[in-house]
Structure 1
């Protein structure tokens, strides 16, 4: 899967606002080129602007374990929630990380920095993770939609 494939897939889900950070949009320079997916049925960024998935195209200071400094490398991050996190990793988000390689390509794994919040990640998704990643993105989208509805109901 390419970045464009993922943007097209997620952008096709109901109520998704896709933001690609870049010069002139107010985003910090470190995030330029990264993509943020929000549940925003009205097309405006929610006040509690927490994306349900992101694509990062580079290592961030303090988090270089995915080795995104390689040509064309990227990581898809998904707010999968506790249940899916356990299903995919075999541990709860609060349990210590396993011995996996956070830079391994085409594997569903605990997010190297946000695992405790139930986030999963895939570096350079390919044939092994294509369907799994789509399933996880749909699931995260449903969770974000449910959060949106709960906030609206307040």
Structure 2
């Protein structure tokens, strides 16, 4: 599945999502009513086509891109065990080969925040990723709902 096909598929799956492109990277966010200011919007999926943010995945290879998804911490741990720490260079050392194609991996930089990724996923892999994509979307929907609620006295969200 090439990047354009993946983005068309994501648009079909999540019609309420906002797709913003900046510098080639596509940020998929949930803000259906447009009430969040830009600095409060957070992507639940990103699609990165190049090595502008890091070189560890070697995205400069022809046709290679990285699909990134933010999942719940429990889901991350179920797939990869404890969250890694970021090194001095911002990268994680999980002993994974971050250049392998069509395989679920921890994100090379954002694994500590429960992000996972796949380089150039096939159509079959995208189908198996559907629960993770749906989870990332659900997390974004909940975050959006909480963003409109007043904060408690201690600066935390109620409930």
TM-score band (shorter)? 0.7 to 0.9
CA contact (8 A) 1:57 1:74 kept: yes
Gaps (5+ residues) in structure 2? 86-91, 151-159
Residues 1:102 and 2:102 are matched in the alignment: no
Once the two structures are TM-superposed, the CA of residue 137 in structure 1 deviates from its matched residue by 1.3
Once the two structures are TM-superposed, the CA of residue 132 in structure 1 deviates from its matched residue by 2.7
Q: Which residue of 2 aligns with 1:58?
A: 50
Distance 1:121 1:109 in 2: 5
- Residue-pair matches, total: 142
**1:143 corresponds to which of 135, 139, 142:** 139
Q: Which residue of 2 aligns with 1:153?
A: 149
Distance 1:145 1:3 in 2: 24
Gaps (5+ residues) in structure 1? 22-31
Q: Which residue of 2 aligns with 1:71?
A: 62
Q: Which residue of 1 aligns with 2:5?
A: 5
Could you list the structure 1 runs, at least 4 aligned residues long, displaced by more than 6 angstroms after superposition. Answer: none
CA contact (8 A) 1:15 1:42 kept: no
Once the two structures are TM-superposed, the CA of residue 36 in structure 1 deviates from its matched residue by 0.6
The structure with more radius of gyration: 2
CA contact (8 A) 1:15 1:43 kept: no
**2:119 corresponds to which of 105, 119, 123:** 123
- TM-score scaled to structure 1, two decimals? 0.82
Q: Which residue of 2 aligns with 1:25?
A: none
Distance 1:37 1:119 in 2: 14
